[in-house]
Amino acid sequence: MVFFKQNRKIQVEDILAKPLPQHIAIIMDGNGRWAQKKGLPRAAGHRAGVEALKRIVEFCGEINIPYLTVYAFSTENWKRPQEEIDTLMNLMVEYIQKEINILVKKGVRVNPIGNLEELPSFTYEYILKAATSTKNNDKLILNVALNYGGRREITRAVQNIARLVQSGEISLKQINEQLIAEHLYTKGQPDPDLMIRPSGEMRLSNFLLWQVAYTELWVTDIMWPDFKPEHLVEAIYEYQRRNRRYGGLNN
């Protein structure tokens, strides 16, 4: 189910005429089901999902989206078969090896978020290498959520703030929403304006729970491997048609 569909094909020029979202978040879902529908192993779906990511990262750079956050591997994904986990980790390394020079050239900064220390050592090594190699880029900040969970992120922030209170560096009265935001993985970044959920699932899946309080959601039944820039254009076009009230009255 695509919740928004135009009778005519939306052109890139249609969205460039209005303010674009500054931060887009995407739950890259549907790789396994895409493969199963085609009679392919799930690994083929994940590989196709990487190609979709490459398309979207490139397009976001072309239309000057400053921040893109993608859900690559959740804290719950460890429950999957070990073979599938190994495939995902190997694909991450392969993507970095093949694309790192292109990412540097195009001004993309890779910013891994999540509990990275729990990743396999080779994945951890390469994701940190990507972050280091692209640290001076500022055209597009690509947050890659790896071993990420929204509840764990908030718990981590609370623990860090509690340590500051315990050490006397801050008081309880100083704890506010801004302070909590500064202890999240996305500190210093604007909250997502638009969250995209491919595959038709109607849930947040423990993704950016604090940050998406007022984010506009766009859901489509298109599986992530089939997601193309034209679908992102459609999502942005719908986003631009909405009235973001943030709890207030209509403008």
pLDDT score of 5: 47
- Could you tell me if 88 and 74 are in contact, meaning their C-beta atoms sit under 8 angstroms apart? no
- Could you tell me if 237 and 183 are in contact, meaning their C-beta atoms sit under 8 angstroms apart? no
Beta-strand ranges (E) seen in the chain are 23-27, 67-74, 108-113, 140-148, 194-197, 216-219
Q: How far apart are CA 235 and CA 69, in angstroms?
A: 15
pLDDT score of 243: 85
pLDDT score of 244: 77
Name the residue type at position 76.
Answer: E
Buried b / exposed e along 198-210 (16+ C-beta atoms within 10 A): bbbeeebebbbeb
pLDDT score of 249: 63
pLDDT score of 189: 98
Q: How far apart are CA 162 and CA 168, in angstroms?
A: 10
Q: How far apart are CA 220 and CA 227, in angstroms?
A: 10
- Could you tell me if 44 and 35 are in contact, meaning their C-beta atoms sit under 8 angstroms apart? yes
Per-residue CA distances from 60 to 126, 184, 195 (Å): 23, 24, 14
User: What's the distance, Cα to Cα, between the start and end of the chain in Å?
Assistant: 30
Domain boundaries, the chain: 12-149+192-241
**Residues of the chain scoring pLDDT < 50:** 1-7
The pTM assigned to this predicted structure is: 0.93
Question: Structurally, what CATH architecture does the domain formed by 12-149+192-241 represent?
Answer: 3-Layer(aba) Sandwich (3.40)
* Residues with a known catalytic role: 29, 77
- List phi, psi (to 5°) of 32: -65, -45
Q: How far apart are CA 62 and CA 73, in angstroms?
A: 26
pLDDT score of 53: 97
CB atoms within 10 A of CB 119: 20
